[in-house]
Amino acid sequence: MAKRSPHEIRFTLYKQYFNRSGQCPTTRLTVKLDKDLKILNPRGIANHSSHGWGFWNYARKFKSDLGHVWGVSTPGHGGIIVVTQKKLPRLFQPAKDLTCIQQSAGWDCWVPNWSAQYESLSCAHADHKMVEIYVYNFEEDCEWAIPVLLDPKIAAEMAKELVIPVTGEVVKARAKASAAKWQSPEICEFFGITPDENNYVVKDRLKGVSNVV
């Protein structure tokens, strides 16, 4: 058993989710924080939040100012996962499946609770300090462009992973094109992008209006 740092704080969360057989197993997550309340095990938190994608086959950590960021490939799906203690703009919602349903007594009586508004992990310490951990899942088909546009460092990191090498600027240009086609007008406006004439969200909204009429 690994020796615990004298400044390490741990608390345990339990999460339920439905699998393909209809059963609802429980998985356990131990969150570790240092004396400054910074996350010590972000990869474990990221892995815990991506059950919908399946187990990681491959993961590459990207340098980023957003927080702890991985490009992930799984048997079911994949994309980019961000674990951060600084919430991204409200346009981008944290992962909905990091549901905390039960608390196990840990050091210093940490009490996790579920925030419906921001869908984040919020923890209150015995001395009333607050720690918030946000996990964002950006799937690989349409949403990958969002973290790339939020942080150019991710574009540069992704460029290194491509079979045919390109520059980070090329990846960023592809991300803009993807966002113009697949993201909402609100998100396009946030990034200063003009929505494509065949923008999926716009067409879907217009379809909904015509169905109502």
Q: What span, in angstroms and rounded, lies between the C-alpha atoms of 106 and 68? A: 24
Average pLDDT score over the chain: 76
Classify strands 58-62 and 111-114 as parallel, antiparallel or unpaired: unpaired
> 191 is written with which tokens?
């990034």
Asked if residues 53 and 74 have their Cβ atoms less than 8 Å apart, the reply is yes
Higher pLDDT pick, 151 / 119: 151
Residues whose CB is less than 8 angstroms from the CB of residue 162 and which lie 6 or more positions away in sequence, other chains included: 171
| pLDDT greater than 80 at residue 26 | no
> 132 is written with which tokens?
């918030």
| pLDDT greater than 90 at residue 193 | yes
Total-model pTM: 0.78
Lowest mean pLDDT among 5-19, 46-60, 93-107, 121-135: 93-107
* 55-79 average pLDDT score: 90
**pLDDT attached to residue 124:** 53
Q: What span, in angstroms and rounded, lies between the C-alpha atoms of 201 and 185? A: 8
List pLDDT tens digits, range 98-115: 433 333 333 333 333 333
| pLDDT greater than 50 at residue 83 | yes
Give 45's pLDDT tier (boundaries 50, 70, 90).
Answer: confident
Burial of residue 145, with CB atoms counted within 10 A of its CB: 0-12 exposed, 13-18 middle, 19 or more buried: buried
Q: What are the extents of the domains in the chain?
A: 1-140, 142-213
Give 7's pLDDT tier (boundaries 50, 70, 90).
Answer: low
Question: Across 24-99, where does the E strand assignment appear?
Answer: 26-33, 58-62, 68-73, 78-84
**pLDDT attached to residue 85:** 86
